[in-house]
Amino acid sequence: MSHRYTLLEIEKMKSLKFLKRKSSKSKVPKNYSLGLDHVASLEEKIHGQVLYPWSKGYNTARQEFDDLYPTYPLLIVYVLSFQDIRDCLQFANDLKIQVAIRSSGHSLACFSVCEGMVIDISKMNSIHVNPEALFAIIESGANFGDLYPKMEQYHLHTPTGDCPTVCPAGFMMGGGYSITSRMYGMGCDNVEEVTVMLADGKIVKANQDKNKDLFWAIRGGTGGNFGVLLDIKLKLHPLKDIYGVQMRWPIKKNPETAAKVLETIQNEYLQAGKLPQLGIETIISSNDDKKKTVFFCATWIGSESEFMDALKPLLDIPGFSMDSYHGKYSKVNNWVLEGTPDIPEDVKAFSRSTYIEKPLSYQNWYDILKFFYKNAPNQYTMIDMEAYGGNVSLIPEDSCAFIHRNVTMDFFTEAFFNKETHDRKASEKWVNDLFEFMKPLSNSRSYQNYPYRGQEDFRTAYWGDYYNQLVLIKQKYDPDNFFRYQQSIGPDLIDDSCQKTLFTPSPIEYENY
């Protein structure tokens, strides 16, 4: 009787009936490489939903947030429990198929899908906030949109991304830049503990005292390398309403004023320890009228008068328009970035990042603006400069696997395109041409949360002198290299005398569940 079953259970019964019917083999794509009896045995074990290439909703489910590299998994499993994940890992191990772990699907290079099995943890999304002890326990499928109301009701905050559908767990594994990082550090700097399932189904916790090598590695070592991240314990900070502004200067054919703006931002704000309460993203893009523009997007933790005093060097540069905001962080963060650019729903994008370490000259900024003015392929192309300095640059580079501390900014581009612009090739060319242009001005490192499939030597670009340390940790916790993808860590060390080792060998400490 239907009232004895959930809708999910009813759909699973229909799916299992199909898989066990002998005549179903003729209705399955001929190139489907798994036996129906095998997938039926898996679906019987797990509580979550399983989608196959013939399932309703599969074509949407297989896509990433940015479906830049279309991928067609053999099956997508929406797990609901630790045991579901354990059963999936055993299934993949037995049949020797590749596994990708997906939470929100925001991997810019589509690394959270594969042609084998996608373990989707988006349904595992519980959140517990402890307002007295100032922490939250967050399952890996929960996103920032889920977290905001639960922490902001207590006037609490942790660094978050620009997009509310990004998950804190995946965010922090790549570092996790926030407009409040200059005050509170990267997302990974606010992690106090993680729970991870290894390829053999065993569970470990990692923190500053237990499995501390894994704790170091998973904060910046990116997802899909060491195991399945189950949940994280995040530090929370008291934070009431904040202020924000968006200031806009037009980029003219000869962009003297806009170059002065960029030079002023760099020289006045981007030093280690300076004005940490000022959060900054500076964006070169087009406004709603398709006019090229410099957007100074800023938040402030403090009084409005102090905010205006801090902004005085920019307020003295003529030719701008400005909107001001006040409210909860989750609202102000959206408002200050509105329209930078305003992109349609159907876009895809090539993304690439590099870091600026040494201050650039006025002429450098002028030349960057001229390059953008002349070469940006369409009105949706943007350059985003995420400001470092403040407190985030006071943290030692070896504190975790996110090593990019002694820099002024992450300089990255997103080249959006769609059927209207019809310029995929031009957008990818823009990304590569821009970074060839930026080579003399950057430090050759890249932000691992913005991966690019064409990245030269991603190992040292993302992790510098600490890559071999990550490989050693990978060999300890995933000795068979079960978790792998196009830019995963290991399995081999690189030949580089500059590589550093931080940890001595130690046994893995397991949990009893």
pLDDT of residue 297: 98
pLDDT confidence of 65, banded at 50, 70, 90? confident
* The model scores a pTM over 0.85: yes
Closest residue by Cα to residue 190 from 225, 129, 237: 237
pLDDT of residue 1: 52
Closest residue by Cα to residue 200 from 312, 88, 305, 300: 88
pLDDT of residue 288: 86
Helices (H) and strands (E) in the chain, counts: 16, 18
Cα–Cα distance for residue pair 202/376, rounded to 1 Å = 49
- 3-class SS string, 29-84: CCCCCCCHHHHHHHHHHCCCEEECCCCCCHHHHCCCCCCCCCCCCCEEEECCCHHH
The encoded tokens of residue 450 equal: 């913005």
Question: Among positive and negative, which fits the CA dihedral 76, 351, 347, 141?
Answer: positive
The encoded tokens of residue 197 equal: 């399932």
Interacting residues of 132 by C-beta distance below 8 A, sequence separation 6+:
none
Q: H or E element: which one contains 119?
A: strand 117-120
- Mean of pLDDT values over 272-276: 98
pLDDT confidence of 205, banded at 50, 70, 90? very high
Cα–Cα distance for residue pair 151/190, rounded to 1 Å = 14
* Region of poorest pLDDT, from 78-82, 344-348, 367-371, 423-427: 344-348
The encoded tokens of residue 73 equal: 């998994």
pLDDT of residue 349: 96
For the cut 90, the answer to whether the pLDDT of residue 298 exceeds it is yes
| Tokens 């195991």 found at | 227
For the cut 80, the answer to whether the pLDDT of residue 51 exceeds it is yes
pLDDT confidence of 88, banded at 50, 70, 90? very high
Cα–Cα distance for residue pair 355/397, rounded to 1 Å = 14
The encoded tokens of residue 414 equal: 């997103």
Cα–Cα distance for residue pair 382/364, rounded to 1 Å = 18
Q: Please calculate the CA angle 383-388-393 and round it to the nearest 5 degrees.
A: 155
> How many C-alpha atoms does 6 have within 13 Å on its Cβ side?
6
pLDDT of residue 2: 63
Question: Among positive and negative, which fits the CA dihedral 395, 397, 398, 400?
Answer: positive
For the cut 90, the answer to whether the pLDDT of residue 3 exceeds it is no
How much of the chain is helix, strand and coil, in % rounded to 5?
A: 35, 20, 45
**What average pLDDT does the chain have?**
97
The encoded tokens of residue 357 equal: 């370490």
Closest residue by Cα to residue 34 from 52, 10, 48: 52
- Mean of pLDDT values over 180-186: 98
Alpha carbon 265 to chain centroid distance?
25
Domains defined along the chain, listed by start: 7-120 (3.30.43.10), 125-239+465-512 (3.30.465.10), 242-458 (3.40.462.20)
For the cut 60, the answer to whether the pLDDT of residue 460 exceeds it is yes
- Mean of pLDDT values over 36-43: 97
What confidence tens digit (pLDDT) does each residue in 310-352 have?
999 999 999 999 999 999 999 999 999 999 998 998 999 999 9
- β-strand 127-130 against 135-139: which pairing, if any? antiparallel
What residues does 278 pair with on adjacent strands?
Answer: 300
Q: What is the dihedral of CA 457, 461, 462, 467, to 10 degrees?
A: 70
* DSSP assignment string, 125-166: --EEEETTTTEEEEETT--HHHHHHHHHTTTEE----S-TTS
pLDDT of residue 36: 97
- Mean of pLDDT values over 152-181: 97
- 3-class SS string, 315-353: HCCCCCEEEEEEECHHHHHHHHCCCCCCCCCCCEEEEEE
Interacting residues of 137 by C-beta distance below 8 A, sequence separation 6+:
127, 128, 130, 231, 232, 233
The encoded tokens of residue 489 equal: 């860590």
Cα–Cα distance for residue pair 43/350, rounded to 1 Å = 36
The encoded tokens of residue 136 equal: 């939250």
What confidence tens digit (pLDDT) does each residue in 379-422 have?
999 999 999 999 999 999 999 999 999 999 999 999 999 999 99
pLDDT of residue 474: 98
Question: Among positive and negative, which fits the CA dihedral 466, 472, 476, 480?
Answer: positive
Residues of the chain above pLDDT 70, percent = 100
pLDDT of residue 345: 87
